[in-house]
Amino acid sequence: MTRFAGVYVAIVTPFTSDYEVDYKRLTELCDWLIQEGVDGLVPSGSLGEYATMTAEERAKVINTVIAAAKGRVPVVVGSAAPSTRQAVEWVQFSKDAGAAGVMALPPINYKPLLPEVFAHYEALNTVGLPIIAYNNPHDYKIDLTPDILAELSKLENVVAVKEFSGDVRRMQDILAQTDLEVMIGVDDLVMEGALIGATGWIAGVPNALPKEGVEIFRLARAGKLEEAQALYRRLLPLFHFDASPQLVQSIKYMMELADFPVGPTRPPRLPLPEDYYAGIKKAFDYAVGTAAGK
């Protein structure tokens, strides 16, 4: 049985104009995404700006999302932290709060040695909550290659990987060499990943376009190539923004365009140049079919 199948949205954290967490809006966001058909929610990830939060804010965000979900969809919590001890504490907190699993990065502050990577996940494994190992070699110093994942998969609770290398061939290798579920980790490989066997997608742009995100993933998983291709080509220019370091500002702006504003990003993330926003709007209009001539 696949534990984490379908579209799991890595949700943004709404802020007020003075950068306070807007918990009411966060609850509304969870309700809207669930009503639009997403399969799961992932708070406390990089898209959720966890690194800018106090421990109290982060705990309240996790509790708010789990309470808002009301058991309708699973909640998988991002557990990244500067130390293994802190990460273990967040996994334990998430388990106690009722999360279905955690999305867990390897050590994030430096390039760890392999024994340190394994020891980190071994410590997380002891909590007893299902773990989605998060491979993001672009933003962090370690690449969880298929051979490393094969070793990690021997841990009872490491059941899946969020694959963010950007190489679709990597997904094939993981499926061939491990028994892990593969979850697409970058939006602009969603169709390719789903077609070759990825069973889940931890998504960014579907914060703004959840219905379209669910549709493209299900079409691709069903092998309906012609229908999937038509939709994917519309969405792809927008999906490219998920692979940029400015993804948080970009996706929050998309949500404004989708009439679901969630406030600013917290510094050090600042507003983007106007020409960057113009590019997002052009891609958004194309995606929803309101561009000139569409």
Residues annotated catalytic, as ranges: 134, 162
CA distance 41 to 28: 13
157: left (phi over 0), alpha (psi -120 to 50) or beta: alpha
CA distance 160 to 3: 9
Instruction: Check if the beta carbon of residue 42 is closer than 8 Å to that of residue 76.
Output: yes
Instruction: Check if the beta carbon of residue 169 is closer than 8 Å to that of residue 189.
Output: no
Instruction: Check if the beta carbon of residue 225 is closer than 8 Å to that of residue 195.
Output: yes
